[in-house]
Amino acid sequence: MATREDFLAKVRRAQPPARPRPDVPLFNAAGGDLRARFTTALQAMGGTCVEVSAASEVSALIRERFGAEASIASAAAEVPGTRALTTDMEPALLQDIDVGVVRARFGVAETGSVWLSEREYVVNALGYIVQHLIVLLDPAQLLDGLQDVYRRDDFRDARFAALVTGPSATADIEGVLIRGAQGVRSLTVVWLGT
């Protein structure tokens, strides 16, 4: 029986030759107030936006929303956590974390999405295994639409990335909506400049 490495080597040899990515046109930008559009789109997906004047207010926001005893894993330097994150950490070690904090590289007004890669998460599971996700976003880093994301170097250079729009949700045929079924129960974007 072939080893895992033999199998992967065969797959790599069978890959088609690389082709340049197609040129994606810039569609008519909706323009307007990007922050207002972002907030409206995020709220439609079950997320919330909060304004703070300083990073020190984020810890108070977490205590107010989730209690003084909430466990926090923070990948954002501005917000202290109760559990340190390291790139070699086993993702399962985050299973009991109440709140994850991360700084998004940018947001997309069209969809109310925040862009996060392996660099922002530190541990990829941070965005999915915690109960609540707090995302710090500089309002100056808002893009108009998804086609703008495709043109960014950080989009092309990331090994892993996700556009996250609101908390996890699922609904059955009767329309019963459940938040947090496969991921975070709440997603809060905190407007905070860099």
Q: Is residue 25 part of a domain?
A: no
Q: Is residue 76 part of a domain?
A: yes
Q: Is residue 27 part of a domain?
A: no
Q: Which tens digits make up the pLDDT trace of 113-166?
A: 999 999 999 999 999 999 999 999 999 999 999 888 888 898 888 888 999 998
pLDDT score for 180: 67
Residue 53: pLDDT band by 50, 70, 90 thresholds? Answer: very high
Share of the chain above pLDDT 70, in %: 98
What mean pLDDT do residues 5-22 have?
A: 89
pLDDT score for 135: 97
pLDDT score for 26: 75
What is the total count of domains within the chain?
A: 1
Q: Which tens digits make up the pLDDT trace of 54-96?
A: 999 999 999 999 999 999 999 999 999 999 999 999 999 999 9
What mean pLDDT do residues 158-182 have?
A: 81
- Is the pLDDT assigned to residue 111 strictly greater than 90? yes
Task: Say which residues have a Cβ less than 8 Å from residue 72's Cβ, sequence separation at least 6.
Answer: 62, 79, 80, 81, 82, 83, 97, 98, 99, 100, 101
Q: Is residue 7 part of a domain?
A: no
Kindly state the tokens that stand for 23: 């040129």
DSSP H or E stretch at residue 118: helix 118-121
**Which structural domain, as residue segments, surrounds residue 142?**
32-191
Q: 187: which DSSP letter?
A: E
pLDDT score for 147: 86
Q: Is residue 118 part of a domain?
A: yes
Q: In whole angstroms, give the CA distance from residue 106 to residue 120.
A: 11
Better-predicted residue by pLDDT, 176 or 119: 119
Kindly state the tokens that stand for 73: 């894993």
pLDDT score for 170: 79
Q: Is residue 141 part of a domain?
A: yes
Q: Is residue 16 part of a domain?
A: no
If phi > 0 it is left, if psi is from -120 to 50 it is alpha, else beta; for residue 188 that is beta
Give the CATH number of the domain where residue 175 resides: 3.40.50.10420
Q: Is residue 13 part of a domain?
A: no
Better-predicted residue by pLDDT, 27 or 139: 139
